[in-house]
Amino acid sequence: MIPAIRGTHDILPGEVERWQHVEAVARRVFERYGYAEVRTPVIEKEELFSKGTGETTDIVQKEMYAFTDKGGERITLRPEATPSLVRVFVEHSLEQAMAVPKIYLIGPMFRYERPQKGRYRQFHQLDVEVFGVSDPAIDAEILDLAWTLVTDLGISGIELVINSVGCAACRPAFSAALIAALGEDVAKLCADCQRRATTNPLRIFDCKVPQDQPVIDTLPHSVDYLCASCTQHFDTVVKHLGVYGIPYRLSHRLVRGLDYYTRTTFEILGGNIGAQNAILGGGRYDGLVKQLGGPDRVGIGFAAGIERLVLAMPEQAGTANRKPVFVAAMGETARDAALALLRDLRRAGLEAHMEYEGRSIKSQMKRADRLKAVVALILGDNELASGVVAVKNMKTSEQTLVPRDVVLEHVARMVALD
Ligand code: HAM
């Protein structure tokens, strides 16, 4: 046996229905807010993420599944969707093609992380992005969309956490303030943080090393260093959240682990799923489209981890609601009539099964039980001769003879009433 790769998962019947439920609810919610689906390749040029996600992020430095292909090109399995969707926006001029470029993507992402509950090497995201709208009303709309997605899935015990990390104008002053506040203490921090202090001091807030936390707790907060327009933007986002009636908590540590964020950043945490409890995360990225070679357009979006949504959903959500019908045949002649009945049931939109191995009626009915059939239709020579089908209600074991020409309607009614 050659097992699956560590950190990857097969999604089997029994669980796949919960995934289908998440995807169906998500599509309905996204479409209500005006988003259209796009599908992009799983492989992209490595450069898209080293430039987009950012050279100083853990994703680019440690986690990419990157390789040189047979043509000598540096390729990577996508670790996130945002740079791909920015590429799509630019490459296909969505600004011209769509009234408002609002797009979503559902698919697998790949990060070489240490696997644990809720953290995998191949995982799946629902990602939404909107381009070209700077008004803070769109930030609040995105937050409302994220909140609606999670609550429509019946997930409880959740918390929306927000922050503002400023813009290109006010970030340098905040970075300088961080360095000044760290002073000599920088030497006490872990090797990663010492590197972050020189490459991108904001990243220090991502640090999970327990010994570093007392120092990090004393650092200044980005919201205290915002320029006037970032302050006004953030105040308006918060005011709009009040209009939507969405509760939130401000967290100055929420800088998010990707380099492109400007102004609003957010996560929804909770759902009682253990240590990896960020159900979704996102924010504004006003410089990214230009940085990736596009026009100077702003953007905002978020991505939710499907595995985490599935974990956090109530147990009964998305369970299969199948109502199989079983056709049993006694004898060779009846078998042909049974096959025609099987075909008609399926054409009428019902889930129908038959046992092909020509076993006894007893073992056929056992199979019907294992399939959890709601109705069994039994055809033998006698039924054929009289133009009827024996219809057995598998729950009550009640059996009646129904004329063949009305049996489809009869069974459809029984299935609907079950
Ligand atoms: P992210 O915070 O890296 O953001 O990932 C978003 C979500 O994906 C997380 O909150 C989590 O639910 C899920 N996730 C991330 N890594 C893993 C993993 N290894 N295993 C399982 N689930 C995981 C982004 O990816 C940004 N592109 C979000 C965004 C969109 N920002 C703006 N637009």
The H-or-E segment that residue 126 falls in is: strand 122-131
Instruction: Say what the pLDDT of residue 359 is.
Output: 84
**Lining residues, ligand 1, CB within 6 Å:** 80-82, 111, 113, 118-120, 123, 125, 127, 129, 258, 278-283, 301-305, 307-308
Atom of ligand 1 at shortest range from CA of 280: 10
Cα 302 to averaged position of ligand 1 atoms, centre (Å): 8
Q: How far is the CA of 276 from the centre of ligand 1 (A)?
A: 11
CA-nearest residue, atom 31 of ligand 1: 282
How high is the pLDDT of residue 241?
97
Q: How confident is the model at residue 151 (pLDDT cuts 50, 70, 90)?
A: very high
Q: How far is CA 209 from the centre of its chain?
A: 28
What CA–CA distance (Å, rounded) separates 179 from 288? 25
Question: Does the pLDDT of residue 377 top 80, yes or no?
Answer: yes
Candidates 9, 58, 64, 109: which one to mutate for ligand 1, based on the most atoms within 8 Å of Cβ? Answer: 109
Query: Residue 52: what pLDDT?
Result: 97
The answer to which of 8-12, 66-70, 178-182, 319-323 has the lowest mean pLDDT is 319-323
| Whether residue 271 has pLDDT greater than 90 | no
Rounded Cα gap, residues 399 and 386, in angstroms: 16
Rg (CA), the chain: 28
137 Cβ neighbours under 8 A, 6+ residues apart: 236, 240
The DSSP secondary-structure symbol of 3 reads P
| 60, 123, 159: residue to mutate for ligand 1 pocket, most atoms within 8 A of CB | 123
Provide the pLDDT confidence category of residue 81 given band limits of 50, 70 and 90.
very high
Q: Is residue 244 a contact partner of residue 155, using CB atoms and an 8 Å limit?
A: no
Q: How far is the CA of 344 from the centre of ligand 1 (A)?
A: 46
Q: If you measure from the C-alpha of residue 355 to the centroid of ligand 1, how many angstroms do you get, rounded to a whole number? A: 46
Question: Each residue of 213-247: pLDDT tens digit?
Answer: 999 999 999 999 999 999 999 999 999 999 999 99
Q: Which of 258, 229, 83, 89 is nearest to 168 (CA)?
A: 229
Q: Where are the beta strands (DSSP E) in 194-274?
A: 249-250, 262-270
Residues 6+ apart with CB under 8 A from 191: none
| Chain centroid offset of residue 269 CA | 15
Give the per-residue pLDDT at 108: 98
Q: Classify the C-alpha dihedral 89-87-281-299 as positive or negative.
A: negative
Ligand 1: atom nearest CA of 301 is 33
Which residue among 125, 254, 308, 310 is best mutated to probe the pocket of ligand 1, counting the most ligand atoms within 8 A of its Cβ?
Answer: 125
Ligand 1, closest atom to CA 118?
21
Pairing of strands 158-164, 122-131: unpaired
Q: What percent of the chain has pLDDT over 90?
A: 93
pLDDT in tens, 153-172: 999 999 999 999 999 999 99
Dig out the tokens for 113 from the structure. 């992380």
Q: Which atom of ligand 1 is nearest to the CA of 267?
A: 10
Q: What is the rounded CA–CA span in Å between residue 79 and residue 37?
A: 19
Given a cut of 90, whether residue 329 has pLDDT beyond it is yes
> How far, in Å, from the CA of 186 to the mean position of ligand 1?
29
Instruction: Give 328 Cα–ligand 1 centroid separation in angstroms.
Output: 50
Residue 278 CA to ligand 1 center (angstroms) comes to 8
Handedness of CA 343, 340, 342, 370 (dihedral sign): negative
Q: How far is the CA of 92 from the centre of ligand 1 (A)?
A: 25
pLDDT digits (tens, 9 = 90+) for 335-348: 999 999 999 999 99
Q: Mean pLDDT for the chain?
A: 96
Its pTM stands at 0.94
7 Cβ contact partners less than 8 Å away, ≥ 6 residues apart = 113, 115, 120, 121, 122
